[in-house]
Amino acid sequence: MRSLLALLMVTLALAALCCCEEDPKDLSGSPRAASIKIKKEVANAFVKRQKRSSLYERYLEYYKSPMEQMHEQCENYPPCDYLSDQIGFAMAYNRFFGRY
């Protein structure tokens, strides 16, 4: 285990030296603009747009089921939330808000 840790430390130290080494040709100390730019094709390879969802998925985002609304109502009322952890959601909801 110690040898693996020592190997990892040496590797990280070498990586830090390679990354922090200054270029003797570039005296300004800041990276050139050409080194920062990447081609559009390369950028699109790892940045993907989110696909559009179906109408059913959009409907579910906006409208919650009645059971989910009851859960949120119970969670927003601290005594009901505490009691639901003890005896369960259904019994706690019935106690504070009536039948569901």
Q: By the 8 A CB rule, do 71 and 88 touch? A: no
Per-residue tokens: 58 = 């959009």
What is the percentage of the chain residues whose pLDDT exceeds 70? 73
Q: Which residue has the higher pLDDT, 94 or 23?
A: 94
What is the percentage of the chain residues whose pLDDT exceeds 90? 28
The per-residue pLDDT for 50 is 67
Per-residue tokens: 90 = 């259904």
The per-residue pLDDT for 63 is 85
Secondary structure element (H or E) that encloses residue 70, with its range: helix 66-76
Instruction: Kindly report, residue by residue over 39-71, the tens digit of the pLDDT.
Output: 777 776 666 666 666 777 777 777 888 888 899
Question: How many beta carbons lie within 10 A of that of residue 93, not counting itself?
Answer: 21
